[in-house]
Amino acid sequence: MWTEGDIVFLLDDKGKKFWLKLERGMIKLPSLGVIDGNKIIEAGDGGCVSLAGKNFTVLSPGVSDLMEAVERGAQIIMPKDAATIVFELDLKDGDVVVEAGLGSGALTTALLHSVEPTGKVISVELREDFGDKGRRNVAKTRSKRLWTLRIGDIRTIELEQKADAVVLDMPDPWVAVDNVSRFLRSGGRLCVYVPNTNQLELVVKKMRASGFVEVKALENIQRAMEVHDMGVRPSYEMLGHTGYLAFGRLACQAQKQ
């Protein structure tokens, strides 16, 4: 059941989304004017409403919807890569995940969804301005209570608890691996996201030299398909290279300490 304060969107017949926070009574919505919030709440997820002479489907957002709707600054991690990150890190309820940096908070949205209702996501961000933007985007999620933001440097930051997984989205992740090894639990999983192959080579070599096992690297390529009455073909616009992913698990902690 929906309640006031939930974030939903209206989908028109052309696929355009109109985002709003649920409230009872009249709501002012850009491009649509003033609408009746009671009608939206009563329609429920998947319901249909007529507003300003147009028909809309009312939908609650999934993780990919929220990621694509974030207020952007830096390039975000796309849903196709976020899904792989969540799967390869084996995230689940109760896990503690550390990410650096926060950026616009798109990946944070996926991480929070994966560890709810009792897990925790700690975002470490160097830049205060990125922190502010991330706060606004994370505030739209239902799991914001599980989130902590630390302004600082992942290369030197002290964390009071062990993490089950760490994600590094930064230009020089190899310089953070040693510090990450201090708060990542034995057997814990590390993911690194980088845009260039020279960065990938450096961080994979560092992971192998720092006690990580099952180290692997990959790239996701995703192509949409256009399905019409007259035939089916690949989309002319392909979401190709976005970044390279490296994964590994921390082992041999007893020998390192």
pTM more than 0.85 = no
Alpha helix positions (H), the chain? 37-43, 63-68, 79-88, 106-115, 128-138, 177-183, 197-209, 253-256
What does the block give as tokens for 105? 């908070």
Q: 7-59 with 65-256: one CATH topology? A: no
DSSP state, residue 176? T
pLDDT digits (tens, 9 = 90+) for 61-120: 888 887 777 766 656 788 889 999 999 999 999 999 999 988 788 899 999 999 999 999
Q: Report whether pLDDT(239) > 80.
A: no
**Amino acid identity at 223:** R
Which candidate, 156, 158, 175, 154, places its Cα nearest to that of 166?
154
- Tell me which of 3.30.930.10, 3.10.330.20, 3.40.190.80, 3.50.50.60 is the CATH number of domain 7-59: 3.10.330.20
**Amino acid identity at 190:** L
Other CB atoms within a 10 A radius of the CB of residue 134 amount to 26
pLDDT digits (tens, 9 = 90+) for 29-56: 877 888 888 888 888 889 998 887 789 9
CB 164 within 8 A of CB 189: yes
Return the CATH architecture of domain 65-256: 3-Layer(aba) Sandwich (3.40)
* 3-state helix/strand/coil string of 6-29: CEEEEECCCCCEEEEECCCCEEEE
pLDDT digits (tens, 9 = 90+) for 179-219: 999 999 999 999 999 999 999 999 999 999 999 999 999 99
Domain-wise residue ranges, the chain = 7-59, 65-256
